[in-house]
Amino acid sequence: MLYPDAATWRAAPAKHVLFYGMSGLGKTHLSNMLRGAGDWFHYSIDYRIGTRYMGELIADNAKAHAMQVPFLRDLLLSDSIYIGSNITFNNLAPVSTYLGRPGNPACGGMAMDQYRTRQEQFRRAEIAALMDTGYFIERAVQLYGYPNFICDTGGSICEWADGNDPADPLLTELSQHCLLVYLEGTDAHTAELIRRFDRAPKPMAYQPEFLTRVWEEYLSENECVEADVDPDAFIRWTYAKALAHRQPRFEAMAPWGVTLTPADVEAITDTASFNDRIAAALERRTSTPI
């Protein structure tokens, strides 16, 4: 690892970390807190996806919808207006809106073939954004003079990385540049995520094999065809299954770095306490027989 023990971490003049785990565990909260300290660069994977790798796709999709409205069509064709997405660290709705949901178009759904195409676009975009981490570490120093670096990942990183593969290309690359920090959840947190999602379902990215399996199961259990699927009903039905699918994949990634428990995250209030908790996590790791 980049920092093999607590002493190395504490002595390091430049600290590089990557946060990963389920949504809502504090990845962006910790990132914002450290960035606020003034000497940490915050690299948001979701923001990079939405601006660099999928920005044109998102804008073109919005233009395609606008072209269906005669008033807007005339303005676009005469270059009188332009359409773009206003993505920020705290507003990534354009990305999730573009991903969409499969099912009945009358209910806001799209054809499964189109949905799979967008899922594949997102998969490639997320992997590319993650592989840009080393570049942004250099950029943070050269352009802004920030010695410390946070890579704030999305909840789907575990779909593309295989923690059980000692030669996994994504984890190998990332671990060369950052200390991978797994934010561990609890059963109560998972239950709250499911309740929150049920109130306001959002599009997600799925591993292709998982998506094929749950789609076929949903059609079979509900005795329906694609055109009959309620998009929100499908993604609500799928969400708990997706969390159960992701949990062991996150756990398999944990040995590539260190783990922070919910109590650790709650105790972090500033840079000093963050450094202390990472040092303690490294001590736990080095004292645990492998």
Q: What is the arithmetic mean of pLDDT over 185-205?
A: 89
pLDDT computed for residue 98 by the predictor: 94
CB 164 within 8 A of CB 56: no
CB 240 within 8 A of CB 194: yes
Whether 288 shows a pLDDT value over 80: the answer reads no
pLDDT computed for residue 257 by the predictor: 98
Q: What is the arithmetic mean of pLDDT over 149-154?
A: 96
57's tokens: 């796709």
Provide the percentage of residues in the chain whose pLDDT is more than 90: 84
CB-based burial of residue 78 (10 Å sphere; 0-12 exposed, 13-18 middle, 19+ buried)?
exposed
Angstrom distance (rounded) from CA 214 to CA 99: 17
Instruction: Give the predicted TM-score (pTM) of the model.
Output: 0.93
Instruction: Judge: domain 13-56+87-279, CATH 3.30.420.40.
Output: no
**Tokens 């960035």 identify what position?**
35
**Tokens 């008033």 identify what position?**
71
* Digit-coded pLDDT (tens) for 33-63: 999 998 999 999 999 999 999 999 999 999 9
Whether 116 shows a pLDDT value over 90: the answer reads yes
Element (H, E) at 104: none
DSSP string, 110-145: B-HHHHHHHHHHHHHHHHHHHHTHHHHHHHIIIII-
Angstrom distance (rounded) from CA 114 to CA 118: 6
Whether 93 shows a pLDDT value over 90: the answer reads no
Q: Taking each helix axis from N to C terminus, what angle separates 169-177 and 112-131, rounded to the nearest 10 degrees?
A: 40
* Digit-coded pLDDT (tens) for 205-220: 999 999 999 999 999 9
Element (H, E) at 90: none
pLDDT computed for residue 23 by the predictor: 85
Q: Taking each helix axis from N to C terminus, what angle separates 208-222 and 231-253, rounded to the nearest 10 degrees?
A: 140
114's tokens: 């189109």
Whether 290 shows a pLDDT value over 80: the answer reads no
Band (87; pLDDT cuts 50, 70, 90)? confident
pLDDT computed for residue 289 by the predictor: 52
User: Is 181 in a helix, a strand, or coil?
Assistant: strand
272's tokens: 């000093």
* Cα dihedral 181→161→194→215 (10° resolution): 180
Q: What is the arithmetic mean of pLDDT over 256-275?
A: 96
